[in-house]
Every structure is written in C-alpha cells, then in structure tokens.
Structure 1
C-alpha cells in the first residue's frame, strides 16, 4: 500500500522497477525498434494489461472472496460518525484508492475503523494515519 499525504496530489501512476535478462530486453528493444511499441514503457504496460486481462476471473473471485471494494472508496466524517454512534466498526478492504476526509479526527477514525487493508493507495491526514497505524494491514 502506498501511503499518500492528504495535501499531496495523488499521482496517476507509480514507478515499478524490474530486472530483465539481456535476451528478453533485446527482444523488447527489437519490437520497439520495429514500431510494435512506442518505447519500453509502452511494451511493459501492454504486457501487464494483457496479464491482468488474462487473470480477470481470478481477480474478480478474489475481490469477492476477500470483500474488496474496487476503485475509489471515500470515508467522510458523517459516515464514520454514524458507524461509531451505532457502536460498530468498519473493516475496510479497498483495491485501488481509499481516502479519509481531512475533517475526520484521529479519535473518530479509531472509534469507527477496526482494520484497513488497501492494495493501491491510502490518502488520509497524517494524524489519522498515525492513529490507525496498528490497524493498517499491508500484506
């Protein structure tokens, strides 16, 4: 999970570094040179999208089984206040982006959120992240 400062602009992309064998790299460069791809990044993005598409059923089944919300999930103060007032706590599972609004206090976050697992990015005020540190699951 990528922890993002609430004041920072969320990037559209994130950097991934990979090590490739020389033959694989040379073949990739050949395809770029021949015009199949505009550059190495285009090749890698296309390969990743193809693999994600190939495994779409497994992804979908895992999302359902582990109760993930896909995409962006925003947690506002009024929603968290309702949860806490009912004596309940949320178990948040997000595949994408989870945000907690800037007006949510650390105390409210602790009362309303039992656990937080985000595969992607988590955007919240620093004090809220600190208050939830023992409830954030990264693996």
Structure 2
C-alpha cells in the first residue's frame, strides 16, 4: 500500500510592491530619460527606486527613532480570522500600527474586524476586503 503525503496548504502570494504615481516636470523627466539613455539606470523606475532608497538611507536614523517612538511594526503584518478570534476570546482589542504592509485576510468578516480592532495606522499599504475597510473607516488613521 502506498501512502500519499498531503500537499501543503498554499498561501496567497503577497505583492512585493505597491504601485504609485508621481508627476514630474518636463525638464526633470527629460534629465531622468537622459540618464537612462546614457546607461546610468536601466529605466525610469530604476532611477526613481534608487533616488528613494538614497533618501531613505540619508534619513535612516530619523526613521528608526520615529518607528520606535510611534511603536510601529516594521515590515509585513497579517491578521487572519483565527488571529482575531483569539483576540476576541481574550476580551481585547488591537491597535494596529504598521510601517510597511498590513493585511487583514479575506476570511475576516466586517463584524469580527469591528469587534477586535480599535484602530489602524498604516504607513505604506493596507490590504483588506472592501467590506472590512468600509467597516473600519472611522478607525483608520
């Protein structure tokens, strides 16, 4: 008799980036295009990412101090229905503070979110169903 091992549960893949839109003056855009054409950067996105990383590095110490002062979780934080059920059983409410990506899983109902989440502060992106975002609208900062 041959025993088959069950396949591991697959998790939805989280996006690695958030799309943003910026407006640049024609001269600035032309200078970026010239640097790309001269081979300094592979494309406009490469230039913009490099510029942003350089600014984040330049202000790194200030960012660390603010993250600590505001008690922000740095990176990714995900909340499932099971996580929030545990919070409800404990009779507590969460104050979510994230610098990065906060995800409230699709299995979380608006009612469960309202019962267990006191406030949400996200510097970056919040991924949640439209219904959960609407339910928490007055708690988003």
Corresponding residue of 1:36: 40
1:63 aligns with 2:67: yes
Q: Which one scores higher on RCO, CA 8 angstroms, separation ≥ 6?
A: 1
Please state how far the C-alpha of 1:45 moved relative to its aligned partner.
Answer: 1.6
Alignment match of 2:22 (pick from 3, 7, 17): 17
Separation in structure 2 between the aligned mates of residue 27 and residue 101 of structure 1, nearest angstrom: 42
Query: Corresponding residue for 1:126?
Result: 130
Q: Which runs of 5+ in 1 are unaligned?
A: 1-6
Cα distance, 1:40 vs structure 2: 2.7
Say if 1:110 and 1:13 are closer, same or farther in 2 by CA, change over 3 A.
closer
Q: Return the offset for 1:66.
A: 0.7
Q: Which runs of 5+ in 2 are unaligned?
A: 1-11
Q: What is the 5 A alignment of 1:23-102? A: 24-102=28-106
More strand by share: 1
TM-score scaled by structure 1? 0.80
Number of residue equivalences: 129
* Larger-Rg structure: 2
State the alpha-carbon separation in 1 of the partners of residues 130 and 34 from structure 2.
46
Q: CA deviation at 1:21?
A: 6.0
CA distance in 1, matches of 2:131, 2:44: 40
Return closer, same or farther for 1:25/1:53 CA change in 2, 3 Å cut-off.
Answer: same
Spell out structure 1 runs of 4+ moving beyond 4 A. Answer: none
User: CA-atom RMSD, angstroms?
Assistant: 2.1
